[in-house]
Amino acid sequence: MCADQGDGAEDEKPGRRRWRPSRWINYPRRGRRGVRRWLPSWRLLLLVAGTGAVVLAGWLAWFYRTTKVPEDLNAFATQQNNVYYWADGTEMARIGQTNRQEVPLDRVPQSVQWAVLAAENETFYSDPGISITGIGRAVYQMASGGDTQGGSTITQQYVKNIYLNQRQDMSRKLSEMVIAIKLDQRMSKQEILEGYLNTSWFGRGSYGIERAAAAYYGKDVSQLDPSEGALLAALLKGAGQFDPALSAENHQRAEDRWSWILDRMVKAGKLSAAERAKYTVFPEPRPQPKSAGLSGQIGYLVDMARTYVESHSDITAAQFDLGGHQIHTTFEKPKVNALAAAVQDATKGIDPGNREADRFLRVGAASVSLDGRIVALYGGPDYLKQGFDNANTSSVPVGSAFTPLVYAAGLGQGVQRQRGGSRTPVLPTTTYDGDNGVNVMTPEGPYWGRDGKIVKTANDGKRDWGTLTLRSALEQSVNGPMMQLGMDVGLEQVQKTAVDLGVLPATMGELVPAFGVGNSMPSAIRTADAYAAFAGGGRHTDPYSVLGITRNGEQLALRLPTAAQALTPAVAAEVDAALKGAVRTGSATSAAEAGPDVAGKPGTTADRTAGWFVGYNGQVSTAVTVFRADLKDMKLLSLEGVGGAAPDTPDSALPTRIWTSYMKTP
């Protein structure tokens, strides 16, 4: 008898009854040996699959029955302010209400409606509220750990709008699908499209296509043409990436998608080829208007805090624009006011109308505490007049203000003067040739530049200093020894030290000899933060501008930086001693009136395009930068003669005056 016969039958011996597994549940399989005994039969597999299908179908039926359609799909957009607070808890700014205004669908031109449908859901009028192929893509994305938001129809997106503050997980996606199906049965397609257009986020604080038309084109929605409608439709994919005014990359993405949407409209038969041919020039939106409550320095502070929240929490830009958030910042009002007053006082003699050298003068400054809190910044004369933040720009070379980082790298890692040889420690007392025009050396010999010439050191004023110690070179701001020290340490090692101290890799300069004397472009914020580690025993914390955020009394998660030991306490102490020496008897003596025990370093560039002063008083590190640039192209101009100064006046003179005046403020 074969092994499968008799399954489920009684034992054949009289008087004995013994149960045997049925042929459906014969597992482990009787009569099989080895691995085959544990391989399930096709009957068992079919049983398991069938049972699973029945259970799943039952669960889906229960889920469908119990999932309710919200009563008011428009209640999500309660108009609330986002309120920003100073570090002491007093109110700093209250930024607008949710910019939303509903319009009936018949006010939206048909061409604009179809631009949206071509971009988001071409089969809207024929689908049941969901897309089977879209769901398949979404399931695949979820299974592979991707984004759960893929594959949504207009109806699903409309449903999702009312759940904007909820997580995008599997349960949430299933609810979205079920509600979309029910909604499609309850409402007409026109009602759904109208609701979607009135609740979608278009960026610039705008919910709904009526406000978007005003924000981007200063028009009523009824006045939009197909080209403008295509740009607004492109924004639905993510205004943060497709608002062309935000960046050159955004502009290119927006232009590509705008063109694609118009072509899709032609393919769908909703725009003639002849009319499409009229729209060859990208419909540039108008600049984003600034809120009146953002005048002076407030706008720079609000922008920085908002950017920090969006990059260090799970709150999206769309969620943030719904309002109702309370943002507690690190900014200290007395210090912000004192920094602005110091800049204004030091620049009273600037006369761009009558002095060419004063045109396009920019000042940026930032104060960072030893624990990373940004307590003050100066972004420009007025946010409403100049939205560009001078304190946070990464387009200005830091110059010789970078040399303390090179000094720290040398003291911490030693030097390697022979390729493959061991590293040799260096001390503050290690001597270098401080003369001007000395050949820059590598382990193999002189460093040859791309021009076919040996690169030579260049001191300010081409001065020869003779042999001097590394500490003296830093105190007196002698560039030659610092350039050679960078080569001896290894530019990659210097770069690593700079990154450990908070300089962003994207702002690093090319790894050539000039790297050691500041061809990198860290912002004033990042430069001040790096110096803070010298005063803080080598501990470094990335700069941050927000202490916490709440909404309707609920504390929201915010990822704050943690401190790390970037330098040994001994190395930090040596750099600190040299920076204090620079103020007492070196290149920074004009800053001594800021008070006892201050430390600092002026910074200049070889081409005279930037002047710096960076230093601290033991509690707060402050960086001030001065440069000239037309914001249209950000081409840096010479600082020679700024404010009517003599041609040989150091470019660090103005930032030093600002820094000293600010640090003297109680």
Q: Note the pLDDT tens digit of each residue in 260-302.
A: 999 999 999 999 999 999 999 999 999 887 777 789 999 999 9
For residue 166, what pLDDT is reported?
A: 46
Mention every residue, 6+ apart, whose C-beta is less than 8 A from residue 235: 202, 203, 212, 216, 242, 243, 254
Domain count, the chain: 3
Task: Mark whether 102 and 204 lie in a shared domain.
Answer: yes
Task: Mark whether 7 and 135 lie in a shared domain.
Answer: no
Domain-embedded: residue 52: yes
Domain-embedded: residue 391: no
For residue 3, what pLDDT is reported?
A: 42
Task: Mark whether 57 and 204 lie in a shared domain.
Answer: no
What crossing angle do the helices spanning 154-161 and 189-199 adopt, rounded to 10°? 50
Q: Is residue 621 helix, strand or coil? A: strand
For residue 422, what pLDDT is reported?
A: 85
Length of the chain: 666
**CA atoms 337, 343, 345, 349: torsion sign:** negative
Would you report the helix, strand and coil content of the chain in percent, each value rounded to 5?
Answer: 45, 15, 45
Domain-embedded: residue 198: yes
For residue 173, give Cα distances in angstroms to 105, 138, 167: 27, 9, 9
Task: Mark whether 52 and 104 lie in a shared domain.
Answer: no
Task: Mark whether 194 and 62 lie in a shared domain.
Answer: no
Q: Which amino acid, residue 631?
A: L
For residue 205, what pLDDT is reported?
A: 84
Domain-embedded: residue 663: no
Domain-embedded: residue 365: no
For residue 587, what pLDDT is reported?
A: 96
Task: Mark whether 183 and 269 lie in a shared domain.
Answer: yes
Q: How many separate helices (H) and strands (E) can be counted in the chain? A: 21, 20
For residue 62, what pLDDT is reported?
A: 60
Q: Which of 276, 305, 330 is the last residue of a domain?
A: 276
pTM score = 0.81
Q: Is residue 609 helix, strand or coil? A: coil
Q: Which of 520, 539, 558 is the last residue of a domain?
A: 520
In order along the chain (666 residues), what is the average pLDDT of each group of 10 residues? 43 52 65 72 74 69 61 56 93 77 91 95 86 63 50 82 55 70 83 91 90 93 96 94 92 96 95 95 90 88 96 90 91 97 96 95 98 98 91 96 98 89 92 97 94 95 96 98 97 98 97 97 98 98 97 91 98 98 96 94 96 95 97 92 94 97 91
For residue 665, what pLDDT is reported?
A: 86
Domain-embedded: residue 246: yes
For residue 148, what pLDDT is reported?
A: 43
Task: Mark whether 120 and 215 lie in a shared domain.
Answer: yes
Task: Mark whether 44 and 156 lie in a shared domain.
Answer: no
Alpha carbons 201 and 213: distance in angstroms, whole number: 12
Domain-embedded: residue 12: yes
Task: Mark whether 62 and 115 lie in a shared domain.
Answer: no
For residue 351, give Cα distances in angstroms to 133, 466, 473: 65, 41, 36
Mention every residue, 6+ apart, whose C-beta is less than 8 A from residue 550: 325, 326, 328, 556
For residue 69, what pLDDT is reported?
A: 67
The CATH number for 117's domain is: 1.10.3810.10
Task: Mark whether 41 and 125 lie in a shared domain.
Answer: no
Alpha carbons 322 and 96: distance in angstroms, whole number: 10
* Segments forming the whole domain that contains residue 467: 401-520
For residue 418, what pLDDT is reported?
A: 81
Task: Mark whether 157 and 111 lie in a shared domain.
Answer: yes
Domain-embedded: residue 464: yes
Task: Mark whether 112 and 248 lie in a shared domain.
Answer: yes
Torsion of CA 457, 458, 463, 466, to 10 degrees: -20
Ramachandran category for residue 300: left, alpha or beta (phi over 0 → left; psi -120 to 50 → alpha): alpha
Report which of 604, 614, 584 is spatially closest to residue 475, judged by C-alpha positions.
584
Q: Which of 247, 276, 305 is the last residue of a domain?
A: 276
For residue 71, what pLDDT is reported?
A: 63
